[in-house]
């Protein structure tokens, strides 16, 4: 059984699934994704045991609602209308219940410009409307299938380093961080060079505990030097989002692994 992501996420890996499957270890124990985002690889694999984490609390609250009560979530989504005025109203409104929060999150994700999740320095979602009233923001079957796959997943809202403390030998860890030199406003704190260096140290830790790890990142001089002792596999035809937010650009990227293929 597999499913599709129920949100569109900047830098999502759906198009890269065949390439990732080609470099994965043939066997692994538990699956870990400490920066889950849209979770494309998780939904494709539908593993028997999974640990999904993200620093974005609204995202994890939405995953939890999809897992625990998909029908209530679908019902709440159907009450929301796709118009610019409704979008702006929903964007400006704070809601309290878990289902209402999840419905708001999915609604804004589906109807915002380019499916982009971006927050300002105060952590407030500020992406404009897509200006397309034909878009469908209620994908019932996608939510139901995602809910089934999520039944085997443990969901947490921690710093990714804390999430990695659960990793054991022969587990598979897939990490898709904000790329070096590209868009990083998924949370108000961003992701800078020091964060990139810390991520490399996390890979050193995963190697020590004998876990399999795959990391995606830009093929920049900084990242290439940072991971000089690890295997690097070029990613084909990967578009990423510019740090200036003004345009899309084709940037060389690669997978970094701590095991031999």
CATH of the domain at 79: 1.10.1020.10
Looking at the fold, whether 85 and 200 belong to one and the same domain comes out as: no
Domain harbouring 209, CATH code: 3.40.50.150
Looking at the fold, whether 162 and 244 belong to one and the same domain comes out as: yes
Looking at the fold, whether 253 and 156 belong to one and the same domain comes out as: yes
Question: What phi-psi label fits residue 108: left (phi over 0), alpha (psi between -120 and 50 degrees) or beta?
Answer: alpha
Looking at the fold, whether 183 and 209 belong to one and the same domain comes out as: yes
Strands across the sheet containing 253-257: 153-156, 50-53, 31-33, 172-175, 212-218, 253-257, 231-235
Show which of 146, 181, 209 is a domain's final residue.
Answer: 146
Look up the pTM and report it.
0.91
Structural domain total, the chain: 2
Residue 8 lies in a domain: no
**What tens-digit pLDDT sequence spans the chain (261 residues)?**
789 999 998 878 999 999 999 999 999 999 999 999 999 999 999 999 999 999 999 999 999 999 999 999 999 999 999 999 999 999 999 999 999 999 999 999 999 998 788 888 777 889 999 999 999 999 999 999 999 999 999 999 999 999 999 999 999 999 999 888 765 444 445 688 999 999 999 999 999 999 999 999 999 999 999 999 999 999 975 555 554 444 455 678 999 999 988
CA distance 206 to 101: 34
Looking at the fold, whether 174 and 49 belong to one and the same domain comes out as: yes
Looking at the fold, whether 229 and 128 belong to one and the same domain comes out as: no
CA distance 73 to 35: 23
Looking at the fold, whether 82 and 135 belong to one and the same domain comes out as: yes
Unique residue bearing structure tokens 């989504």: 77
Contacts with 35 (C-beta within 8 Å, 6 or more apart), sequence order? 53, 54, 55, 160, 175, 176, 177
| Residue 143: strand, helix, or coil | helix
CA distance 54 to 147: 18
Residue 6 lies in a domain: no
Show which of 129, 146, 163 is a domain's final residue.
Answer: 146
CA distance 84 to 135: 12
CA distance 31 to 160: 14
CA distance 139 to 131: 19
Are the C-beta atoms of 170 and 212 separated by less than 8 Å? yes
Domain of 168 in residue numbering reads as 14-56+149-257
């Amino acid at each position: 059984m597999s499913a599709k992501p129920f949100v569109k996420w900047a830098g999502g890996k759906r198009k890269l699934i065949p390439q990732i499957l080609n470099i994965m270890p043939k066997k692994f124990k538990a699956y870990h994704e400490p920066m889950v985002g849209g979770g494309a690889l998780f939904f494709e694999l539908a593993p028997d045991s999974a640990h999904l984490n993200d620093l974005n609390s609204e995202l994890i609250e939405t995953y939890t609602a999809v897992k625990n009560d998909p029908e209530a979530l679908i019902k709440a989504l159907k009450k929301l209308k796709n118009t610019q005025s409704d979008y702006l109203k929903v964007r400006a409104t704070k809601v309290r219940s878990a289902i209402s929060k999840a419905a708001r999150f999915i609604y804004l994700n589906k109807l915002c410009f380019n499916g982009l999740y971006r927050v300002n320095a105060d952590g407030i979602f500020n992406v404009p409307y897509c200006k397309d009233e034909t878009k469908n923001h209620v994908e019932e079957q996608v939510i139901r299938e995602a809910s089934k796959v999520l039944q085997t997943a443990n969901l947490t809202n921690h710093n990714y380093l804390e999430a990695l403390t659960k990793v054991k030998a022969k587990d598979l860890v897939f990490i898709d961080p904000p790329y070096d030199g590209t868009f990083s406003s998924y949370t108000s704190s961003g992701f800078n060079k020091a964060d990139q260096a810390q991520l490399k140290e996390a890979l050193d830790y995963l190697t020590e505990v004998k876990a399999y790890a795959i990391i995606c990142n830009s093929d920049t001089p900084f990242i290439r030097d940072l991971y000089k002792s690890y295997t690097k596999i070029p990613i084909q035809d990967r578009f990423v989002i510019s740090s200036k937010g003004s345009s899309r650009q084709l940037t060389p990227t690669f997978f970094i692994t701590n095991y031999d293929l």
